[in-house]
Chains A and B, each alone.
Chain A
Amino acid sequence: MFLGVDIGSTTSKAVILDSKLNILSASVINTGTGTLGPEKTVKAVLSKAGLNEKEIQYSVVTGYGRMTYQKADKQITEISCHARGTFFLKPNARTIIDIGGQDAKVIRLDEDGRVKNFAMNDKCAAGTGRFLEVMARILDCRINRLSVLSQKATEEINISNTCTVFAESEVISQLAAGVKRENVAKGAHKAVAKRVAGLAGRIGVEPDVVMTGGVALNKSVVDALEQEIKEKVTVLKKPQIVGALGAALYAFEMIDM
């Protein structure tokens, strides 16, 4: 049995694979790097699969918190793991867009699933899940309802500031000027998409484009992104666990080699 753990800034994910590469179990916990989140998610994934720690032959940790998690046999970056996980699920993928809680990445793959190039956003919340969280708070909307709110928009507004802090005050003044909440919500999704499309522009986009990471569950971002990059964007079934799946695949290869 092979374990992959992906410790992000806001969530911890884990996947267990058997030696035939079937996914035995997966778990997502809404606590990121630190001790609690990773421990909980590993516990959850083990119990779902009905396994104990000793039955894990090899484990790989990835993600923002990978350096501080001591229990894995090896650590590999989330760039490599997202690439491996995505390619496993969708061998036609050539561009991966991964938007997480605090960062965004674009990864280009070759026909063999190897990473050709990648780009990451800098330490800035623009173009990440964090930006949407801030917007949801101002709009007094639960984060998982933000997309629904945005679908009701009647007009497209622009949020011109990329910086989250400035965008926050910009939006507050728009609301004060009478702009409707749903229109602001739509603008917020577009702002994220624009920023990520800019990131993608650095290394180029080649179809098929696949989106991973928690923000992929937000349909409005996906729609806005399709418009910005002018390509169809496929969202994998469980976009959050792709990094952990990639880590588990690496774990399998370590033993298999």
Chain B
Amino acid sequence: MNRIEEIIAIMEDVSRYPAKAIRESMEETGKEVIGCFPLYTPEEIVYAAGMIPVGLWGGQKEIKKADKYLQSFCCSIMKENMEHGMEGSYEFLSAIIIPAYCDTLKCVCENWKAAVPDIPLIAMVYPQNRKITAGVEYLVNEYKRVKDELEKISGKKITEKELEESIDLYEEYRKTMSQFVAIASKYPRTIDAKKRHSIIKAAYFTDKKWYIPLIKELTTELNMLPEEAFNGIKVIATGILAEPEVLLDTLVQNNITFAADDLAHESRQFRTGVSNSGTPLERLALRIAGNQKCALLYDEEKTRGQLLLDLVKEYKADGVVVFMMKFCDPEEFDYPIYKKELEAAKIPMLYLEIEQKMDSVEQIRTRIQSFKEMLTV
């Protein structure tokens, strides 16, 4: 096994067994762990509090208990998170943070208190008009509240310096990841769609101080190899997240790779950095203000279509694959708008409606294979 394979195997292991990885991080660092619901949860503040933020993005459990709180028309990520919470799989968490973006998340905040009373909840709301001064001020106040709550849990004050250091670390993470995905697109065989997903996902369950050097090393090692020739299909992935894994397996089997992505679970995490001026919390709030083209952040100009078109052009992609999380209203509202723009530009598009746990994937297999045949046969 060479070093590249070794690092990939480590990341795959972390993504496959997140609970194990989290417990190991806890043992090594002696830190407490805070669960972060999607999306843009202020991990920097958690880290500055001396705790490890871990991402809670659902799973593949059979839903039994969560149905008590969430109707069948809620997205599967939230049902999975609720099920995991109620089943006790999050018992090692000292608290969870839920940002309320969509209708489902708003309800989940309330449900959580009743359903999982043992894990304290820190709820927060992102402002709709996040770019105006009032929006930024409001968000700074929300962050302050989150900070206060975290201080109560850890029993110690978070200093400005700790916040600055944490922000620096996260900026380094974002830079490292942006470099990684750019380089990875040149090695579609070594870093196929599934491996790429596992590598990015591993960040959610580990201490960034452990994770960043490994990704840097991986990027450097890749960069020393000659670019890989690829006769398959290169696509841009968009949506909330690209799971379940069997979808990625099917993509790989059909020789389809991700040239780049616009997934909330992946690039949307790291493509926008903080602002350089202001107090630490203002810098974080301005990062959200500057963040564009995401279904979860109000975008009056509807620029996501253009982003996808730019990515297709930049990476010479053959098409766009839409991973539509079933019942995710923010994503569904965006779809008709960018669909029109992609169609007008004659960009082939594959629409996959997904749930995290899918019992029958035959239909989706046929769609993926047909998409490949459409572009190659």
A77 CA to B374 CA, complexed, in Å: 10
Contacts of B366 in A (CB 8 A): 64, 77-79, 120
A54 CB to nearest chain B CB (Å): 27
Q: Which of A77, A122, A123 contacts B370 (CB 8 A)?
A: A77
A120 CA to B353 CA, complexed, in Å: 11
Contact of B373 with A103 in the complex, beta carbons under 8 Å: no
Contact of B373 with A76 in the complex, beta carbons under 8 Å: yes
A116 CA to B370 CA, complexed, in Å: 11
A116 CA to B377 CA, complexed, in Å: 12
Contacts of A79 in B (CB 8 A): 366, 370, 373-374
Which interface residue of B351, B353, B360 has the most chain A CB atoms within 10 A?
B351
**Is B362 at the interface (CB under 8 A from chain A)?**
yes
Q: Count of B residues near A, CB < 8 Å?
A: 15
**Which partner residue on chain B sits nearest A115 by CB separation?**
B374
A117 CA to B371 CA, complexed, in Å: 8
Q: Which of A92-108 contact B (CB under 8 A)?
A: 103
Contacts of B362 in A (CB 8 A): 64, 67
**Which partner residue on chain A sits nearest B365 by CB separation?**
A67
A64 CA to B353 CA, complexed, in Å: 19
**Is A114 at the interface (CB under 8 A from chain B)?**
yes
Q: Which of B353, B363, B369, B374 contacts A114 (CB 8 A)?
A: B374
Contact of B370 with A115 in the complex, beta carbons under 8 Å: yes
**Is A162 at the interface (CB under 8 A from chain B)?**
no
**Is B271 at the interface (CB under 8 A from chain A)?**
no
Q: Which of A80, A103, A123 contacts B374 (CB 8 A)?
A: A80
Contacts of B370 in A (CB 8 A): 77, 79-80, 115, 118
**Is B20 at the interface (CB under 8 A from chain A)?**
no
A50 CA to B208 CA, complexed, in Å: 70
Contact of A122 with B377 in the complex, beta carbons under 8 Å: no
Q: Count of A residues near B, CB < 8 Å?
A: 18
**Which partner residue on chain B sits nearest A103 by CB separation?**
B363
Q: Which of B346-377 contact A (CB under 8 A)?
A: 348-349, 351, 353, 360, 362-363, 365-367, 369-370, 373-374, 377
Contacts of B349 in A (CB 8 A): 117
A244 CB to nearest chain B CB (Å): 16
Contact of B373 with A123 in the complex, beta carbons under 8 Å: no
A10 CB to nearest chain B CB (Å): 15
A118 CA to B366 CA, complexed, in Å: 11
A116 CA to B346 CA, complexed, in Å: 10
Q: Is the interface of B mostly helix, strand, loop or mixed?
A: helix
**Which partner residue on chain B sits nearest A64 by CB separation?**
B362
A115 CA to B377 CA, complexed, in Å: 9
Contact of B377 with A123 in the complex, beta carbons under 8 Å: no
Contact of A76 with B367 in the complex, beta carbons under 8 Å: no
Contacts of B367 in A (CB 8 A): 118, 120
Contacts of A118 in B (CB 8 A): 367, 370, 374
Which interface residue of A76, A115, A116, A119 has the most chain B CB atoms within 10 A?
A115
A115 CA to B353 CA, complexed, in Å: 21
A99 CA to B211 CA, complexed, in Å: 50
**Which partner residue on chain B sits nearest A63 by CB separation?**
B366
A250 CA to B377 CA, complexed, in Å: 10
Contact of B369 with A77 in the complex, beta carbons under 8 Å: yes
Q: Which of A54-113 contact B (CB under 8 A)?
A: 64, 67, 76-80, 103
**Which partner residue on chain B sits nearest A75 by CB separation?**
B369
Contact of B373 with A122 in the complex, beta carbons under 8 Å: no
Contact of B373 with A77 in the complex, beta carbons under 8 Å: yes
Q: Which of B360, B363, B365, B373 contacts A115 (CB 8 A)?
A: B373
Contacts of B373 in A (CB 8 A): 76-77, 79-80, 115
Contacts of B363 in A (CB 8 A): 103, 120, 122-123
Contacts of B374 in A (CB 8 A): 79-80, 114-118
Q: Which of B226-241 contact A (CB under 8 A)?
A: none
A190 CB to nearest chain B CB (Å): 25
A231 CA to B19 CA, complexed, in Å: 56
A80 CB to nearest chain B CB (Å): 4
A78 CA to B369 CA, complexed, in Å: 10
**Which partner residue on chain A sits nearest B339 by CB separation?**
A202
* Contact A122 B353, CB 8 Å, known A76-B377, A80-B374: yes
A113 CB to nearest chain B CB (Å): 11
A48 CB to nearest chain B CB (Å): 29
Contacts of A119 in B (CB 8 A): 351
Contacts of A114 in B (CB 8 A): 374
Q: Which of A216-253 contact B (CB under 8 A)?
A: 250
Contact of A123 with B360 in the complex, beta carbons under 8 Å: yes
A217 CA to B362 CA, complexed, in Å: 26
Contacts of A76 in B (CB 8 A): 373, 377
Q: Contact residues of B with A, CB < 8 Å? A: 348-349, 351, 353, 360, 362-363, 365-367, 369-370, 373-374, 377
A-B contact pairs, 12 of them (CB 8 A): A67-B365, A79-B373, A115-B370, A115-B373, A115-B374, A117-B348, A118-B367, A118-B370, A119-B351, A120-B363, A120-B366, A123-B363
- Taking A118-B367, A123-B363 as given, write out 18 further A-B residue pairs in contact, using a Cβ cutoff of 8 Å, ordered by the A residue number: A64-B362, A77-B366, A77-B370, A79-B373, A79-B374, A80-B370, A80-B373, A80-B374, A80-B377, A103-B363, A115-B370, A116-B374, A117-B348, A117-B349, A119-B351, A120-B366, A123-B360, A250-B377
- Across chains A and B, which 5 residue pairs bring their CB atoms closest together, nearest first? A79-B370, A115-B374, A80-B373, A77-B370, A77-B369
